[in-house]
């Protein structure tokens, strides 16, 4: 099957809109650049959308839910049944990220990308690719066609979100075992040893952590993914959730809607998207640096700097949601502050080199 259309290029950032946004920031009566990365984020959104009138109202968090066959290797504290339990709680608005999203005025949209069994409850967007992935310690997680299908679903979610007037998207995931799959993907894409990219996930002890690292090493050696082919890496080592999030980032670039990266798993999906379509980074905003060991390394590979460094590692999109009020506050200054001329003050000048 040919899914190449889904990876079509995005239009380059609008440098005129970016310059207008930067000029607006520089006219605000405050020291130049004093809101740091918040100013940069607003300028980046302006460049992406082609307008210096940056607005991020009508925002949504997509939580992609999927199961991973590698759980059978004992790489997690809990079993795959927990994925379904949390997915149902997401539909009820009864998880940590739902509470946080209410404060951030963001809608939470849980998506079934491929849990181990079909849900018996409503409220999930159905984008099932399969009944969970296969065990990467025994063979590929999925076929190449399945990886493409999951990515296309993510692109389509972004397209529909744009069509319904969404101005900001956030990424989240729910899937027991997905710190194992994401660590495997990160190790290959960044050329790093498994030990340096693998963490304790939801709280593994030393013995389970060593087993997790060994499983990742075995999976890489057995499947021999091509580090220069991100689709091959996703198909052999990833999950339906990771591939779907990669599609969301691609869709953000194609349809000009900014997408907040969450933590380590989400950033691994963003890294895969950047390898599939380098221009997709124009839509990516980094919310926080994960408490997982390679959280910072993945963001560095993407050329992104996080807004928050709080040691968070909950997942579900909690880090991405936590960044939204910061962006809201930045835009309150951007749109509502007096200029130097308004208050009769000479404008600050850049320091001489």
**Among candidates 313, 198, 296, 308, which has minimal Cα distance to 260?**
308
**Among candidates 253, 271, 285, which has minimal Cα distance to 8?**
253
- Cα Rg, the chain, nearest whole Å: 20
Catalytic member of 15, 20, 316, 352: 316
**Pairwise CA distance, residues 52 & 78, whole Å:** 47
The per-residue DSSP string of 146-194 comes to: HHHHHHHHHHHHHHHHHHTT--EEEEEEE-TTHHHHHHHHHHHHHT--H
156: annotated active-site residue: no
**Pairwise CA distance, residues 308 & 155, whole Å:** 27
The answer for residues whose C-beta is within 8 angstroms of residue 97's C-beta and 6 or more apart is 61, 63, 90, 108, 172, 314, 316, 317, 318, 321
Say which residue the tokens 């200054």 belong to: 333
**Pairwise CA distance, residues 270 & 200, whole Å:** 21
C-beta of residue 267 within 8 angstroms of C-beta of residue 286: yes
Q: What are phi and psi of 205, to 5 degrees?
A: -75, 180
Q: How many CA atoms lie within 13 A of 108 on its CB side?
A: 30
**Pairwise CA distance, residues 325 & 341, whole Å:** 28
Question: Both tokens of residue 349?
Answer: 């000048």
C-alpha separations of 75 from 18, 54, 196, 229 in Å: 45, 43, 16, 26
C-beta of residue 114 within 8 angstroms of C-beta of residue 67: yes
Would you name the residues annotated as active-site residues?
316
């Amino acid at each position: 099957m040919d899914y190449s259309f889904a990876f079509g290029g995005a239009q380059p950032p609008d440098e005129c809109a970016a310059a207008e946004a930067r000029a607006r920031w520089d006219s605000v009566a405050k020291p130049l650049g004093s809101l740091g990365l918040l100013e940069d984020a607003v300028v980046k959104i302006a460049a992406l959308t082609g307008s210096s009138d940056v607005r991020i109202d009508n925002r949504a968090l997509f939580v992609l839910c999927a199961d991973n066959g590698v759980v059978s290797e004992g790489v997690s504290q809990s079993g795959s049944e927990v994925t379904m339990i949390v997915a149902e709680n997401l539909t009820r608005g009864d998880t940590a990220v739902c509470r946080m999203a209410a404060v951030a005025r963001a809608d939470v949209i849980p998506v079934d990308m491929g849990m181990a069994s079909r849900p018996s409850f409503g409220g999930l967007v159905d984008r099932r690719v399969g009944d969970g992935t296969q065990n990467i310690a025994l063979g590929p997680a999925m076929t190449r066609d399945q990886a493409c299908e999951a990515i296309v679903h993510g692109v389509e979610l972004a397209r529909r979100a744009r069509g319904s007037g969404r101005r900001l998207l956030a990424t989240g995931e729910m899937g027991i075992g997905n710190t194992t799959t994401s660590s495997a993907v990160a190790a290959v894409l960044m050329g790093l040893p498994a030990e340096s990219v693998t963490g304790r996930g939801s709280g593994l002890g030393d013995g389970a952590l060593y087993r997790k690292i060994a499983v990742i090493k075995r999976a890489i050696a057995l499947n021999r993914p091509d580090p220069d082919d991100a689709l091959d890496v996703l198909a052999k080592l990833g999950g339906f959730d990771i591939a779907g999030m990669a599609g969301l980032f691609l869709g953000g670039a194609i349809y000009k809607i900014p997408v907040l990266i969450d933590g380590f798993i989400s950033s691994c999906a963003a890294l895969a998207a950047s390898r599939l379509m380098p221009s997709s980074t124009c839509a990516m905003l980094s919310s926080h640096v994960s408490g997982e060991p390679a959280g910072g390394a993945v963001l560095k590979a993407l050329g992104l700097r996080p807004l928050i460094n709080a040691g968070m590692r909950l997942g579900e999109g909690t880090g991405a949601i936590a960044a939204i009020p910061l962006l809201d506050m930045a835009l309150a200054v951007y749109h509502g502050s007096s200029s130097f001329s308004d208050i009769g003050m000479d404008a600050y000048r850049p320091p001489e080199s």
